[in-house]
């Protein structure tokens, strides 16, 4: 497959490319992820999202209550309504 100086040159090239990539922002991000660190801005964003989820849950429960009320009203009307006479076909 590799003969002569091609193998060491390939290893050198791949090593330099890996060093170049890992010393940049991608390498820092991977290192922070491994270390378990994150930005303080992430905490604020998480708290904002949790607040929005709580608001949406509250709105959903209100909508469910309104739907239940409307269903009860419709069911009550159906019980009170007299049976409609059947139509005769010509």
Q: Give me the residue spans of the domains in the chain.
A: 7-37, 39-80
pLDDT tens for 62-75 read: 999 999 999 999 88
Q: Using the predicted structure, report yes or no on whether residue 79 has a pLDDT greater than 80.
A: no
pTM of the model: 0.45
d(CA 29, CA 12) in angstroms, rounded, equals 24
pLDDT tens for 27-62 read: 888 888 788 776 666 778 889 999 999 999 999 999
d(CA 54, CA 47) in angstroms, rounded, equals 11
d(CA 58, CA 61) in angstroms, rounded, equals 5
């Amino acid at each position: 497959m590799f003969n002569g100086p091609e193998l060491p040159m390939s290893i050198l090239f791949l090593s330099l490319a890996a060093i170049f990539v890992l010393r940049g922002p991608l390498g820092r991000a991977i290192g922070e992820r491994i270390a378990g660190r994150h930005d303080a801005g992430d905490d604020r964003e998480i708290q904002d999202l949790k607040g929005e989820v709580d608001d949406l849950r509250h709105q959903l429960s209100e909508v469910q209550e309104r739907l239940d009320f409307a269903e009860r009203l419709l069911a009550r009307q159906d019980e009170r309504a007299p049976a409609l006479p059947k139509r005769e076909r010509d």
